[in-house]
């Protein structure tokens, strides 16, 4: 699942993501986040579980930040805002366990097919880098605390 040559994914604001498997009611997607990424808190209308496969990242919800390590797991309820940050030199690879099942998988595969055939335009939202945030931003302060010297090196 972590082999780029064997998994199909799309680049999004949070990194490269794709569908791995689905049952009638649930699905598993992956997200490979790039080093230095900052994604502001945002909410989804559905709940999901995030499992950290490799790398470290920062979960931010209601302004509280927590470093997530390999084997960390987090359950996010619907409509709860959360953001993602990677103030480390290495990226992170996550699994998302979501509601939606095979119907969502079919829609995702149709979308991917449309993008690859050029029928659908996939707009990549520009990723924000932690180092591009204002010097007073809380994500920068947290990055300096959990990875001293990171801001100077990047």
pLDDT at 4: 54
* Tokens, residue 26: 């649930």
Q: What percent of the chain lies above the pLDDT cut of 70?
A: 82
pLDDT at 72: 97
pLDDT digits (tens, 9 = 90+) for 107-142: 777 777 777 777 877 665 556 899 999 999 999 999
pLDDT at 141: 96
Q: At 88, is the pLDDT very low, low, confident or very high (cuts 50, 70, 90)?
A: very high
Q: Name which residue leads in pLDDT, 83 or 2.
A: 83
At residue 105, the 3 state secondary structure works out as helix
In angstroms, rounded to a whole number, what is the distance separating the alpha carbons of residues 73 and 95? 10
List helix spans (H) across the chain.
101-116, 138-146, 150-153
In angstroms, rounded to a whole number, what is the distance separating the alpha carbons of residues 107 and 4? 22
Q: Considering the entire predicted model, what is its pTM?
A: 0.81
Contacts of 151 (CB under 8 A, 6+ apart): 130, 131, 140, 143, 144
Ordered domains of the chain (ranges, CATH): 10-63+73-139 (2.60.120.10)
Residue 48 has pLDDT above 60, yes or no: yes
Chain mean position to CA 137: 20
* Beta pairing partners, 96: 29, 50
At residue 154, the 3 state secondary structure works out as coil
Arithmetic mean of pLDDT, 63-92 = 96
């Amino acid at each position: 699942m972590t082999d780029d040559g064997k998994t199909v994914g799309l680049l999004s604001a949070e990194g490269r993501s794709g569908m791995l498997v689905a049952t009638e009611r649930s699905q598993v997607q992956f997200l490979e986040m790039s080093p230095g990424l900052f994604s502001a808190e945002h909410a989804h209308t559905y709940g999901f579980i995030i499992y950290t496969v490799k790398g470290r990242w920062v979960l931010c919800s209601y302004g509280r930040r927590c470093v997530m390590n390999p084997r960390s797991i987090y359950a996010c309820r619907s409509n709860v805002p959360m953001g993602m940050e990677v103030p480390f030199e290495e990226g992170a690879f996550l699994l998302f366990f979501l509601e939606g099942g095979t119907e969502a998988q079919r829609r995702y595969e149709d979308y991917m097919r449309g993008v690859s055939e050029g029928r659908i335009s996939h707009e990549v939202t520009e990723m924000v880098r932690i180092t591009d945030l204002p010097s007073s931003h809380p994500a920068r302060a947290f990055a300096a605390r959990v990875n001293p010297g990171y801001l100077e090196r990047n």
